[in-house]
Homo-oligomer: A and B are copies of this chain.
């Protein structure tokens, strides 16, 4: 009996016990009339079809997506692996299931990323912008470190928002220097840090931290509105100047660039224009990174939904 073998490493014949996510659970009846359970098990490395023969236990479709302690055997069917479950129950404390093994996470160190974010925030020259950013960070610290940046499309993994925000802060820092004649560095950095905080309320997350759906406020109000509104509240609490409060809200409301991409207003100052471009750039680069990682050199992907086109991985 092997323990917690990663799905990508499974081979037929192994007897395994470990923690996996059980998904797509469906109760079925075989041709001879006996009930069984069809499902898939997954961890951060992949997923595989699974069956529990002669099953009349308590699990139903409602349990899909939960972490289970599972024992069974790896077999092969029609040229693909199949995991035959012999025992299964929801994971409990004490089972030592590590979420990081089960769901994909951003390829960054959370702790060092947070240190770098804090350093950049501390470098914001304008005291009002700086203290507002720091207040937002402390208020949302837990979720800021773990939530994805999206349900799919790009950065749809644990700590995706942290990774996306850090990349944007780095670019904003560099570009504020390159375009210093027209860019207020403090405003741009504050906008880069704050632009996606509304995503926390926009998304419904599973117990594992992945986005399972958009929330009603997320769809009916949008994360731009909710983010701008919260920033406005804190700004008023902190007594920030009217003009600066307005500019921060403008950067958040316009960071999707164009109304047809979801911007509530169009960017109309240099910092909001640049912020919307940096956001586009980082999301595009991540989409390429995810798509290209699955391609052989010299080949094209299929048409990507997020870009409306196929992409090429060169040699």
Instruction: Let me know if A315 is at the binding interface, CB within 8 A.
Output: yes
A171:B182 contact, CB within 8 angstroms: no
Measured CB to CB, the closest approach of chain B to A203, in angstroms, equals 14
For the complex, count residues of A whose C-beta is within 8 A of B: 63
Instruction: Let me know if A312 is at the binding interface, CB within 8 A.
Output: yes
B281:A277 contact, CB within 8 angstroms: yes
Q: Within A205-235, which residues are at the interface with B (CB < 8 Å)? A: 216-217, 219-222, 224-225, 228-229, 232
Instruction: Let me know if A29 is at the binding interface, CB within 8 A.
Output: yes
A182:B292 contact, CB within 8 angstroms: yes
A78 CB contact (under 8 Å) in B29, B77, B247, B259:
B29
Q: Which residue of B lies closest to A29 (CB)?
A: B78
Q: A178-B170, A220-B312, A277-B280 are in contact. Are A270 and B298 (CB under 8 A)?
A: no
Instruction: Let me know if A110 is at the binding interface, CB within 8 A.
Output: no
Instruction: Let me know if A139 is at the binding interface, CB within 8 A.
Output: no
A311 CB contact (under 8 Å) in B170, B175, B268:
B268
B298:A216 contact, CB within 8 angstroms: yes
B residues near A183, Cβ cutoff 8 Å:
285
B310:A219 contact, CB within 8 angstroms: yes
Q: Which residue of B lies closest to A213 (CB)?
A: B300
Q: A78-B28, A273-B288 are in contact. Are A246 and B221 (CB under 8 A)?
A: yes
**Per-residue interface assignment for chain A, residues 234 to 273, with 1 indicating a CB less than 8 Å from any chain B CB and 0 otherwise:** 0000000001001101100100000110101110111001
B246:A217 contact, CB within 8 angstroms: yes
B residues near A298, Cβ cutoff 8 Å:
216, 243
B289:A182 contact, CB within 8 angstroms: yes
Instruction: Let me know if A64 is at the binding interface, CB within 8 A.
Output: no
| Bound: A277/B175 CA distance, A | 13
**Per-residue interface assignment for chain A, residues 57 to 85, with 1 indicating a CB less than 8 Å from any chain B CB and 0 otherwise:** 00000000000000000000111000000
A224:B268 contact, CB within 8 angstroms: no
B residues near A228, Cβ cutoff 8 Å:
221, 225
| Bound: A182/B243 CA distance, A | 39
Instruction: Let me know if A314 is at the binding interface, CB within 8 A.
Output: yes
B residues near A260, Cβ cutoff 8 Å:
259-260
Instruction: Let me know if A309 is at the binding interface, CB within 8 A.
Output: yes
Measured CB to CB, the closest approach of chain B to A62, in angstroms, equals 14
**Per-residue interface assignment for chain A, residues 274 to 291, with 1 indicating a CB less than 8 Å from any chain B CB and 0 otherwise:** 100100110011001100
B178:A171 contact, CB within 8 angstroms: yes
Instruction: Let me know if A4 is at the binding interface, CB within 8 A.
Output: no
